[in-house]
């Protein structure tokens, strides 16, 4: 061992050892207190010769004096304290080991998790105490971490694929144009390149929006949700007409606590998703504290619908890059609201956004 390690090395005083020393110390201190009380009692006894109650007992010898009794008390106390110290150390070590066994299981699970194994759970059973509460909390944390890492892996894989696709398409078009430049329809080529480039830009902007929402505090004010829908409706109507979709809206006064810009994006993404991934009809209804967007289309399974809020969720129909509902879900989350997606019995999807009401000044 080097000099540097000798200087930095310190003895490891484990919790089990500290508990053992505490148990033994408590027993020894209690024994000292009891012995001191007995000794003090004998100290205040009057110092006169002790006589036996039965004179015939004097045949065994003269009765002990107070000093002799005090000496005997001190010797017996010393032996008792030694015995208590041994019992305290041995019993305390065993008891501390049993009490700390659940903590050792949690520590072992934490070591496995630090090595990348997130599927292990502690699962303590028995009497409800602080250790079982800690075990349940740790298991819940592992469950959330496992879900987060799985979503991150899927997100990274899908994001790399989605970002690579537009570039690969543009590269192919350019290679074809370079190979046979004389027979190219330049205006059409430029149009296709612009559309493909715009798709890549849309994906990057959507990713940046998701990142920004994960790292910002949203400033909110009372906002009329109907006014937000009216402001977003002209652009949505134009997109619906181009797609051949019938778009309708019903509104009632709905004041919520939110951010006007983000709510505008929420409405736009939600209705665009219904237009692009549905059939021929989309309807929006604004209720107090609630926005409902419904489209028709093919029958959807509940398991499939639950994946729609994941980034780059793939659909069996429609277009888009799969970030629209992910953005909607994150916007709803930062507004402390709730997003519910449910498949319609006759096909299509109904999306319901619940938003909190305005904060009233007290």
- Residue 313 — pLDDT band, cuts 50, 70, 90? low
- Structure confidence by residue, pLDDT tens digits, 180-213: 888 778 888 888 888 778 767 766 766 666 666 6
One of 3.40.50.720, 3.40.190.10, 1.10.287.130, 3.40.50.150 is the CATH number of 151-214, namely 1.10.287.130
Does pLDDT of 58 surpass 90? Answer: no
State residue 349's pLDDT score.
92
Evaluate whether 231 touches 264 at the Cβ level (below 8 Å). Answer: yes
- Structure confidence by residue, pLDDT tens digits, 230-242: 988 988 898 888 8
pTM passes above 0.85? no
State residue 353's pLDDT score.
95
CATH class, range 221-354: alpha beta
Cα separation, 89 vs 34, whole angstroms: 19
Spell out a b/e string for 35-48, using b for 16 or more CB atoms within 10 Å of the CB, else e. beeeeeeeeeeeee
Tokens 């709730």 locate to: 338
Evaluate whether 247 touches 240 at the Cβ level (below 8 Å). Answer: yes
State residue 255's pLDDT score.
92
Closest by Cα among 263, 271, 267, 204 to 243: 271
- Structure confidence by residue, pLDDT tens digits, 133-183: 888 888 888 888 887 777 667 666 656 666 676 777 788 888 888 888 887
């Amino acid at each position: 061992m080097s000099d540097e390690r000798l200087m930095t090395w310190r003895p490891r005083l484990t919790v089990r050892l500290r508990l053992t020393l505490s148990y033994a110390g408590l027993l020894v201190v209690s024994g000292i207190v009891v012995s001191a009380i007995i000794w003090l009692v004998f100290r205040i006894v009057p110092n006169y010769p002790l006589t036996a109650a039965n004179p015939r007992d004097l045949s065994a010898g003269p009765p002990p004096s107070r000093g002799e009794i005090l000496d005997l008390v001190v010797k017996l106390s010393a032996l008792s304290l030694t015995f208590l110290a041994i019992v305290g150390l041995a019993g305390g070590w065993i008891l501390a080991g049993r009490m700390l066994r659940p903590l050792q299981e949690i520590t072992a699970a934490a070591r496995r998790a630090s090595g990348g194994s997130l599927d292990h759970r502690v699962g303590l059973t028995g009497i409800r105490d602080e250790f079982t509460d800690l075990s349940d909390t740790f298991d819940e944390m592992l469950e959330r971490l496992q879900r987060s890492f799985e979503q991150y892996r899927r997100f990274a894989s899908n994001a790399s694929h989605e970002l690579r696709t537009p570039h690969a398409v543009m590269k192919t078009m350019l290679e074809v144009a370079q190979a046979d430049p004389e027979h190219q329809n330049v205006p059409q080529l430029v149009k296709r390149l612009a559309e493909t480039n715009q798709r890549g830009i849309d994906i990057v902007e959507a990713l940046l929006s998701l990142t920004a929402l994960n790292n910002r505090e949203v400033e909110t004010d009372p906002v009329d949700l109907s006014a937000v829908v009216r402001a977003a409706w002209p652009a949505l109507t134009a997109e619906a007409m181009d797609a051949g979709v019938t778009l309708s809206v019903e509104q009632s006064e709905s004041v919520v606590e939110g951010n006007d810009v983000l709510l505008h994006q929420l409405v736009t993404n939600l209705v665009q998703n219904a237009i692009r991934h549905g059939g021929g009809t989309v309807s929006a209804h604004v209720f107090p504290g609630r926005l409902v967007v419904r489209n028709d289309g093919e029958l959807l399974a509940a398991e499939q619908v639950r994946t729609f809020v994941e980034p780059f969720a793939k659909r069996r129909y429609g277009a888009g890059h799969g970030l629209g509902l992910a953005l909607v879900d994150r916007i709803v989350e930062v507004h402390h609201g709730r997003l519910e997606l449910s498949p319609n019995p006759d096909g299509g999807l109904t999306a319901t956004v619940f938003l909190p009401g305005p904060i009233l000044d007290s």
